[in-house]
Amino acid sequence: MDNSANISDLQSLITKMKSAVAPLRDILNGLHAKYSAVQEGAVATYIPELAKADPNWFAISIVSVDGQVVEVGNHQQLFSIQSVSKPFVFGMALEDHGREHVLTKVSVEPTGEAFNSIVLDERSNRPFNPLVNSGAIATADLVEGRDFPQRVTRLLEMFSRFAGRSVHIDNTVFLSERATGHRNRAMAHLMLNFGMVRDRVEETLELYFQQCSVLVNCHDLAVMGATLANGGVNPFTKERALKAEYVKDLLSIMLSCGMYDYAGEWAYRVGIPAKSGVSGGIVAVVPGKFGIGIFSPLLDPRGNSVRGVRVCQELSQRFGLHAFEAGFTGRTLQDELARK
Amino acid sequence: MSQIISIHSFRGGTGKSNLTANLSALLAKAGNRVGVIDTDIQSPGVHVIFALKPSDVKLALNDYLWGRCRIEEAAYDVTAAAIGRFDESAARPRLFLIPSSVNTGEIAQILRGGYDIGKLNDGIHELVSALDLDYLLIDTHPGVNEETLLSIAVSDRLLLVMRPDSQDFQGTAITAELARKLDVREMFIILNKIPAGMDREFLLQQVESAYGAPVLAMLPLSIEMATLASSGLFALRFPDHPLTLELMKIAKRLLS
């Protein structure tokens, strides 16, 4: 038997037990109880598959860069990743082409417009940023591979490296996205007309619909966030999911454009790089420290999870997580991971 | 301040459950609200000593872990069985038992896994506050499994029970090492079933230097305890027996 594997098994078991008795668990249970009472918002209905979500689903997961996991609620419940996929695919485009080339194809400017708006920066001939639908389609266009199956495989492998487990596409969601994605299709063709994307536009749209249909749970989101927080290396598998030099590219657009047209206020009030999706997931990153996953399908009019936004707001205020926090004197999230 | 105490032994047959039950009765008798939780889900047993019949157990720890009830709903008042007559109008003493299910289907379901170990932590804390406990004793599964490690991690004090036997010697070293990794705050050794004529002083030195933890008690192998065969509480039946007096010393230490 491989002794080093046994030792790391033992270590992960010890870490698991320490996480299970950490004060942070009580804090998350408290937040979960408090925000379970919030019934505002509505489940997304623009594709039939999303409308099937149970509005009561609610989970909070926090994963530290050293592998501690504290999570409460329905953290195993699978859902389609939707827009949370966008920064990760942007990372893949950066790795495939380098920063300079990617920035000629998509800008990094917040729009203040809704996620599905058909507004393109005609002056520079680019979509505004990789986290609005137009920009995400232009980003998907940059995912390379010798043929379409290989592009899909590479995409799934990238997500699997971030999540630390093999992820899959929900075919029903994919077919549903494809059948109803007229607006995205229109946008893609408009961009083709402007020469913003290559002429394999149908294939790229398929890839985009696939990337939105990847199944994850709240735990996965926290691990993906922790991988970014850890400089691109998954804290459990120790596998690199993204080149270290590109981590800041993802985090800075998440901070400025990650929360649809709430992004400006988010950066001001919460100050944590984050990305939300219409299935109710949010991934948030505290660089060098934690990944946070939140899942609750009740959305506000902008498409962000109502409970998710409030939990992030409270976590940020209570534990001084704002990126520009200076001189915070309270107890930190790290303090709450160790028994008093 | 309430205190959570885990009682563990690496191997079976050390007398761990009997010790847990007797200590809980002595702590209750001293005027405390005490809980005993059986986290030995795979081989539950401590309920027998409190004369709790399986047919009287409507809800068990398993039901809580599967989200079927609150944990305090799986608590049974066994004060009368443990310490005899007491003033029912007063809040203290009280002794509660939270049994694990002896239903084979329930045991199999837990063995297949799939419950969140964090729920056991939440339940232990909820129990202490819902029943206003002064002491919660956790009777663990022998050896090492997730419930045992969680029980050790959540405890303020850990009592390691062992016999003067080479196999116990090795096994206890493993648990002691794990407990240190889990940042256990206080760890004690209880030597049990010591045969007459054994060099107790030598044994004490050997054990304390091997584990770097103090020996809290050295309990003699008792014919009476064996004859009782878990059909009742020894400390109640034989209040003046030397073994009971030793048990009281342990209780006193835990009370301080």
Q: Beta-carbon neighbour count of residue A86 at 10 Å? A: 30
**B219 near B18, Cβ under 8 Å?**
no
Where residue B252 falls among pLDDT bands split at 50, 70, 90? very high
Nearest chain A residue to B118 by CA: give it: A20
**Residues of A whose CB is below 8 A from B181:** 14
For B50-94, the pLDDT digits (tens) are 989 989 999 999 999 999 999 999 999 999 999 888 999 999 999
Q: How many CA atoms lie within 13 A of A226 on its CB side?
A: 27
Residue A2 has pLDDT above 50, yes or no: no
Q: Report the domain count for chain B.
A: 1
| Matching residue, tokens 């995912």 | A143
Q: How far apart are CA A305 and CA B182, in angstroms?
A: 37
Whether residue A8 is predicted with pLDDT greater than 80 in this model: the reply is no
> What is the DSSP code (8-state) at residue B100?
P
Structure tokens at A268: 């001001």
- How far is residue A139's CA from residue A232's CA, in Å, rounded to a whole number? 19
Interface test with chain B among A21, A61, A71, A339, by most B beta carbons within 10 Å: A21
Q: Which region among A271-280, B97-106, B115-124, B231-240 has the lowest average model confidence (pLDDT)?
A: B231-240
Whole-angstrom distance, CA of residue B50 vs CA of residue B37: 12
Q: What is the pLDDT of residues A274-307, one digit of tens each?
A: 999 999 999 999 999 999 999 999 999 999 999 9
Mutate to test the interface with A, among B156, B182, B184 (most CBs of A within 10 A): B182
Q: How many CB atoms lie within 10 A of CB B129?
A: 10
Q: Which domains does chain A have, with CATH numbers?
A: 20-81+215-337 (3.40.710.10), 83-212 (3.40.710.10)
Which chain A residues touch B154 with a CB distance below 8 Å?
20-21
Cβ of B149 within 8 Å of Cβ of A14? The answer is yes
Angstroms from A197 CA to nearest CA on chain B:
46
| Residues on chain A touching B153 (C-beta within 8 angstroms) | 17-18, 20-21
The pLDDT tens digits for B8-35 are 999 998 999 999 999 999 999 999 999 9
Residue-level pLDDT at A5: 56
Chain B hits for A25, CB-CB cut-off 8 Å, are: 118, 121-122
Higher pLDDT, A203 or B234: A203
Radius of gyration for chain A, computed over Cα atoms and rounded to the nearest angstrom? 19
Tell if the CB–CB gap between B121 and A13 is shorter than 8 Å: no
Both structure tokens of A165: 């487990």
Q: DSSP string covering A253-288, please?
A: HHHHHTTGGGHHHHHHHT---EEE-TTSEEEEEETT
Q: Across chain B, how many H-helices and E-strands are there?
A: 12, 8
Q: Can you tell me the distance from the alpha carbon of B217 to that of B223, in angstroms, rounded to the nearest whole number?
A: 18
Asked if A17's CB is within 8 angstroms of B182's CB, the reply is yes
pTM of the predicted protein model: 0.90
**Measured between alpha carbons, how far is A249 from A269 in angstroms, rounded to an integer?**
21
Task: Judge: A21–B121 Cβ closer than 8 Å, yes or no.
Answer: yes
Q: What is the percent of chain A where pLDDT is above 70?
A: 98
| Amino acid occupying residue A230 | N
Per-residue CA distances from B9 to A16, A155, B142, B171 (Å): 21, 50, 5, 8
Place of tokens 């494809």: A178
Task: Give the pLDDT band (50/70/90) at residue A11.
Answer: confident
> What are B's interface residues with A at a Cβ cutoff of 8 A?
117-118, 120-122, 125, 146, 149-150, 152-154, 178, 181-183
Name the least confident of A26-35, A84-93, B82-91, B122-131: B82-91
The strand pair at B33-38 and B94-98 is best described as parallel
Residue A29 has its nearest CB partner, among B117, B122, B149, at B122
- Quote the CA–CA distance of A216 and B56 in Å, as a whole number: 43
Q: Do A14 and B181 touch (CB under 8 A)?
A: yes
The total of other beta-carbon atoms located within 10 Å of residue B55's CB is 6
Torsion of CA A82, A197, A162, A282, to 10 degrees: -30
Give the domain CATH number at B46: 3.40.50.300
What φ, ψ does residue A314 adopt, rounded to 5°? -70, -40
CA distance B67 to B69: 6
| Tokens describing residue B65 | 């872990």
Smallest Cα–Cα separation from B214: which of B234, B187, B194, B238? B187
Contacts of A18 in chain B (CB under 8 A): 153, 182-183
The C-alpha atoms of residue B215 and residue A14 are separated, in whole angstroms, by: 25
First to last CA, chain B: 12
Q: Give A 3-42 residues with CB within 8 A of chain B.
A: 13-14, 16-21, 25-26, 29
- Token pair for A103: 């920035």
Please identify among residues 96-155 of chain A the ones whose CB lies closer than 8 Å to any CB of chain B.
Answer: none
Interchain pair A14, B117: CB under 8 A: no
Rounded to whole angstroms, how far apart are CA atoms B112 and B104?
A: 12
Token pair listed for B236: 């109640």
- Calculated CA dihedral for residues A242, A248, A249, A254, nearest 10 degrees: 100
* Residue B155 tokens, joined: 């405890």
> Strand, coil or helix: what is B158?
strand
User: What phi and psi values does residue A302 have, to the nearest 5 degrees?
Assistant: -85, -10
Q: Parallel, antiparallel, or unpaired: how do β-strands A215-216 and B33-38 relate?
A: unpaired
Among chain B residues, the shortest Cα distance to A17 is held by: B150
Contact B73, B65 (CB under 8 A): no
Host domain of residue B74 = 3-255
Asked if B224 contacts B243 with a C-beta cutoff of 8 angstroms, the reply is yes
Residue A234 pLDDT greater than 50, yes or no = yes
- How many CB atoms are located within 10 Å of the residue A308 CB? 33
Q: What confidence score (pLDDT) does residue A4 get?
A: 56
User: Across the interface, do B182 and A25 touch by the CB < 8 Å criterion?
Assistant: no
**For residue B115, what are the CA distances in angstroms to B69, B109, B118?**
14, 10, 9
The pLDDT value given to residue A7: 67
B117, B125, B152: residue with CB nearest A16: B117
Q: Which residue has the tokens 């920066």?
A: A121
Mean pLDDT rounded to a whole number for chain A = 94
Contact A25 B118 (CB under 8 A): yes
A65-113: pLDDT as tens digits: 999 999 999 999 999 999 999 999 999 999 999 999 999 999 999 987 7
What pLDDT does B32 receive?
Answer: 97
User: What mean pLDDT value characterizes chain B?
Assistant: 92
3-state class (DSSP) for residue A297: coil
Query: What residue in A sits closest to B114 (Cα-Cα)?
Result: A76
Distance from CA of A317 to the nearest CA of B (A): 25
Among A64, A112, A106, A104, smallest CA distance to A89 is for: A106
What is the least distance, in Å, from the CA of A138 to any CA of chain B? 41
Is residue B74 within 8 Å of residue B123, measured between CB atoms? Answer: no
On whether ipTM exceeds 0.90, the answer is: no
Residue A1 has pLDDT above 60, yes or no: no
Contact (CB<8Å) A339/B178: no
Given pLDDT bands bounded at 50, 70 and 90, which one contains residue A340?
low
Cα(B219)–Cα(A183) distance, integer angstroms: 79
Rounded CA gap, B170 and B181, in Å?
17
Higher pLDDT, A119 or A12: A12
Q: How far apart are CA B9 and CA B190, in angstroms?
A: 10
Residue A251 token pair: 């985090």
CA torsion angle A14 A59 B125 B100 (round to 10): -80
Q: Which of B146, B153, B181 sits opposite A21 (nearest CB)?
A: B153
Predicted confidence at residue A210, as pLDDT, reads: 97
pLDDT tens track for A109-167: 998 777 777 777 777 889 999 999 999 999 999 999 999 999 999 999 999 999 999 99
Contact A13 B149 (CB under 8 A): yes
